[in-house]
Amino acid sequence: MSTIAQKKGFGATLWDYLTTVDHKKIAHLYLIAGGFFFLVGGLEALFIRIQLLKPNNDFVSAGFFNEILTMHGTTMIFLAAMPLVFAFMNAIMPLQIGARDVAFPFLNALGFWLFLFGGIFLNLSWFMGGAPDAGWTSYASLSITSEGHGIDFYALGLQIAGLGTLIGGINFLVTIINMRAPGMTYMRMPMFTWTTFIVSALILFAFPPLTVGLFLMTFDRMFGANFFDAAMGGNTIIWEHFFWIFGHPEVYILILPAFGIFSEIFAIFSRKRLFGYSSMVFATVLIGFLGFMVWAHHMFTTGLGPIANSIFAVATMAIAVPTGIKIFNWLFTMWGGSIRFTTPMLWAIAFIPSFIMGGVTGVMLGSASQDYQYHDTYFVVAHFHYVIVGGVVFALFAGAHLYWPKMFGTMLNEFLGKITFVLFFVGFHMTFFIQHFLGLWGMPRRVFTYLPGQGFETSNVISSIGAFLMAAGVIVLLVNVVITSVKNEKVGNDPWEDGRTLEWALPSPPPYYNFKQLPLVRGLDAYWLEKMDGKKGMTPAEPIGDIHMPNNSFIPFTISLGLFIAAFGAMFHGDEGNTWGVPVLIFGLLFTLGSMFVRSIKDDHGYHIPKKELLDDKDLGGKA
């Protein structure tokens, strides 16, 4: 192995990415795949807004509208937001704690391929008889009676993708617990690492209920079980509980990394230490904990009874407290700082009022008696888009601009970045602000059209125009990416000049082994401390020595492929006159098990980068 960059052919690069176990390359894969699904989901959103542009529109049929709506939600949550968050976690978290990779590089790759195959499987439904059409929540009474294979795609696709997410979460947990650099105590971890840690714990506890729910759904639909069929002694409400025991933590799984990214941004571009670091950590932990106690606020109107409703209403409102702590800390971080209005910072500043609006409507919805009015209207749609777009998507854009140099070694154009911001910001508020009122005026959620003369026309037009502005913003970002990649002007370690955490002490992008010598961490904002002491880089904590690295492997791909094949068998075996279903199911599972077997019996100890080679390499950091 040589560390000297060589120009590789397309085939070699492709093979490299198919087999990679390097967290930085896996981050690229997550970014590309997540970005692709984000575009797909965005396209679906545009179709929704075109259909709702005017009353009695027939741009799409009612049934097709349901499919687009369902796939929009499902794609955005599971296939766009989650993997994009994972992209940044993979790219940045190991660098922030001073590790050479995640704890289980092989599992990291496996997690990605499972997600990708699950996502592809779900989207193949478009070409194979129709997509799922029971909403992203897929409530059981509706979904077990849904015709065709749409819901089967949902259950099986999410099962595979969810397995990948679970694996990823466990991997991050182990990494953060075990692989922090010397001196990196828990209370010195950067905020983004902390949120990654808590989020991984949430994943660990939230995904099993989803897994169970999806399995029950799979058996109900494909193997003749009756878990959710009340006529056969089942209980349809159980699905809702399982879904929301997963679903509410899931929204925090999305928002906490966003909080982490913004915490980094506020500190960097205010040139100040994050205000109230320990209370931030505390608030994050508390949000994670409370996130599990509130799921039934999605089910106030199902008839849980006044006692259950009250308990969950109180618990729900309690979450506003730690969230408020965070908001004040961000404000105080900016207070008195010397602020630079870079693109990431613009997103961060815009995030605060946008997210607060979502939080306020959240508390309104959380009060059970009010929720009877709001439930299943556009008010709810406005609420969750304010938190998810105004929180998570803003953070993804901000993170993309902030970490682009660290991931690819080039800077996105700041001017275009700001154009993206303005277009998207204006478009976002235009689309969703008015939807609060649409909801209050009585426009129900998830309807494919409405009648004229009900006062919904103008507002829907405004909303649809806003959607196109957001699309324009995304297109500008894509142009920005292309221009930046073609120009390919490489930047140094710390392109924002005010980097505080360890990742900015490394070259952009870092060498594949990250740290030639593990750094010694002397406090929070480790790199900033060294800079303030007039040093160029980190003080090493160990002498230069051989570095142990894992080998690339194609097996994660084949393990995931097997499940993908098996899913087709499971889905079609029940069709009239189908003979190949069961054999394909068995074949796929054997393929997966076989791959796992090969993995376990093959001795793969990785390889060492010899010390000599590291000493020869001049252009890398770590010179003490």
Partner 1 sequence: MTNEQLNSGNPRVDIEYRRKKNAEEMRHQVISFALMIFLTLIAFVAVAYEEFSGWFVVPFILLLAGVQVIFQLFYFMHMSHKGHEAPKLFMYAGMVVAFVTILCYTTIIWW
Output 170 or 388, the one with its CB closest to ligand HEM: 388
| Cα–Cα distance, 308 to 418 (Å, whole number) | 47
Q: Does the protein bind Cu ion through residue 248 (CB under 5 A)? A: yes
The mark string for 367-386 relative to ligand HEM (x by CB under 6 A, - otherwise) is ----x--xx----x--xx--
Residue-wise DSSP of 434-482: HHHHHHHTTPBTT-S---TTSS-HHHHHHHHHHHHHHHHHHHHHHHHHH
Output 170 or 388, the one with its CB closest to Cu ion: 388
Q: Does the protein bind ligand HEM through residue 517 (CB under 6 A)? A: no
| Cα–Cα distance, 106 to 327 (Å, whole number) | 38
Number of residues binding to ligand HEM, judged by CB under 6 A: 25
The mark string for 206-225 relative to partner 1 (x by CB under 8 A, - otherwise) is ---x----------------
The mark string for 80-119 relative to ligand HEM (x by CB under 6 A, - otherwise) is ----------------------------------------
Q: Which stretch binds partner 1 (CB under 8 A): 171-179, 329-337, 389-397, 572-580?
A: 171-179
Q: Does the protein bind ligand HEM through residue 206 (CB under 6 A)? A: no
Least gap, CB of 466 to Cu ion (angstroms)? 25
Q: Does the protein bind partner 1 through residue 285 (CB under 8 A)? A: no
For 547, the 3-state DSSP assignment is: strand
The structure tokens listed for 151 are: 């819901």
Least gap, CB of 177 to partner 1 (angstroms)? 5
Residues 6+ apart with CB under 8 A from 462: 430, 434
Residues 491-512 as b or e (16 or more Cβ within 10 Å = b): bebbbbebbbbbbbbbbbbbbb
Contact 136, 77 (CB under 8 A): yes
Computed on alpha carbons and rounded to an integer, the radius of gyration of the chain in Å comes to 25
Q: Does the protein bind partner 1 through residue 177 (CB under 8 A)? A: yes
Q: Which of 32, 237, 238, 363 lies at the binding interface for ligand HEM (CB under 6 A)? A: 363
Q: Which does 24 bind (CB under 5 to 8 A by kind): Cu ion, partner 1, ligand HEM, none?
A: none
| Cα–Cα distance, 411 to 343 (Å, whole number) | 11
| Cα–Cα distance, 435 to 199 (Å, whole number) | 30
| Cα–Cα distance, 183 to 17 (Å, whole number) | 33
Q: Does the protein bind ligand HEM through residue 392 (CB under 6 A)? A: yes
Q: Which of 185, 454, 551, 578 lies at the binding interface for partner 1 (CB under 8 A)? A: 185
Give the bridge partners for 607, in sequence order.
549
Q: Which of 48, 79, 92, 99 lies at the binding interface for partner 1 (CB under 8 A)? A: 99
| Cα–Cα distance, 132 to 149 (Å, whole number) | 7
Polymer length of the chain: 624
Contact 194, 260 (CB under 8 A): yes
Least gap, CB of 553 to partner 1 (angstroms)? 21
| Cα–Cα distance, 458 to 463 (Å, whole number) | 9
Q: Does the protein bind ligand HEM through residue 529 (CB under 6 A)? A: no
| Cα–Cα distance, 421 to 271 (Å, whole number) | 22
Q: Which stretch binds ligand HEM (CB under 6 A): 173-181, 362-370, 398-406, 482-490?
A: 362-370
Chain residues binding partner 1 by CB under 8 A are 99, 173, 177-185, 201, 204-205, 209, 235, 237-238, 241, 245, 292-293, 296, 304-305, 308, 518
Chain residues binding ligand HEM by CB under 6 A are 137, 251, 254-255, 297-298, 316, 319-320, 323, 359, 362-363, 365-366, 371, 374-375, 380, 383-384, 387-388, 391-392
Chain residues binding Cu ion by CB under 5 A are 248
